[in-house]
Amino acid sequence: MSKVIITVIGLIIFARCLKEERPIQPKEPGNVHTQTLTMGADYKWQVYFDLGKNQEVGRHPKTDWDLGFTCCDTAHNIVINSSKMMYALHTDQFNFNAVTDTAGFTANKKRDMPSGNLDSTALNGWKKNEVFIIDRGYAPDGSHLGMRKLQLNNANMDEFTITFGPLQSNEGTTITIPRNVDYNYTHFNLETGGIADIAPPKDDWDLIFTQYTHLFYEPEETPYLVTGCLLNDSKTRALQLEESIDFEDIDIEYASEILLEEKRNVLGYNWKTFTGNGYEVDGDQLFIIRDREGFFYKLRFIDFYDEEGNKGTPTFEFQQL
């Protein structure tokens, strides 16, 4: 058999082993959905939303938790509940009983940054057996929830160990906080002394509608409670569009070329403006979101009131691209 024939036969066999190349058909965009969620006029609720399912997937009163312990096995970070305007005081003390009031520590006040960056949290860089004073913030009715002291004893891949108690007492309770990689955080309530069932598993949601503490810097640093929308810490990415473009003209080609941001307050709160008599929503503020499954969406807010005129009821329009 000649070399030419052998070569031709080999090429035929090789071609049969290759998968047939088929042109990729552009995916049709999904329907445009309009969704309304109720946080309450006093912003009592933290509400979790799944874009793919177009439904609320969880809610709880914002006062149900104080601390969130990271569940990923590569970090030992702790967040505080900024929806209550909480803060922490660094004491630089390692004797739990030696800390009984705030005297001498007020200059060391720290808060979590609204971006969600774990390098910019109130308890960032904690040391073993370090004692912190925790201000638990405020309830929806404006009442102060009190102070606690917290000693961070240890952390490993499976759990955290902490000691906590009333600020003016020498009595402390030591407890182990388990870590579950199916969640972003294990949440803990300093008042009840127990684990709090808060967020859904991290693969079950994209957005959380909540109050949170924003830090203004003009003329000086000022914390302020704002109401808005945050991203799933570990899964969801987004960007607010700066250029002028119509909602209807945003397609998958446009969205897929955009560099999205990781900070959790990309959607934030300023899609609405307080006019003195109420809130006015800017429907021209447009957002691109990539959900935890990798699908792209465009989204805009269109209202902040229910049919009876009660605030705390964001309505938004979105479409899968």
Strand partners for 311: 305
pTM attached to this predicted model: 0.89
Q: With residue 288 as reference, give the H or E element that holds it.
A: strand 287-290
Q: Using the Cα atoms of residue 91, residue 160, residue 293 and residue 201 in order, give the sign of their dihedral.
A: negative
Q: Rounded distance, CA 242 to CA 318, Å?
A: 18
The answer to whether 301 and 277 are in contact (CB under 8 A) is: no
The answer to whether 76 and 68 are in contact (CB under 8 A) is: no
Amino acid at 104: G
Q: Rounded distance, CA 183 to CA 62, Å?
A: 18
The answer to whether 217 and 100 are in contact (CB under 8 A) is: no
Q: Rounded distance, CA 61 to CA 81, Å?
A: 12
Tens-digit pLDDT string for the chain (321 aa)? 443 333 333 433 333 333 333 333 445 677 999 999 999 999 999 999 999 999 999 999 999 999 999 998 778 999 999 999 999 999 999 999 999 999 999 999 999 999 999 999 999 999 999 999 999 999 999 999 999 999 999 999 999 999 999 999 988 999 999 999 999 999 999 999 999 999 999 999 999 999 999 999 888 889 999 999 999 988 899 999 998 899 999 999 999 999 999 999 999 999 999 998 899 999 999 999 999 999 999 999 999 999 999 999 999 999 999
What is the layout of strands, in order, in the sheet containing 45-50? Answer: 55-61, 45-50, 207-216, 222-231
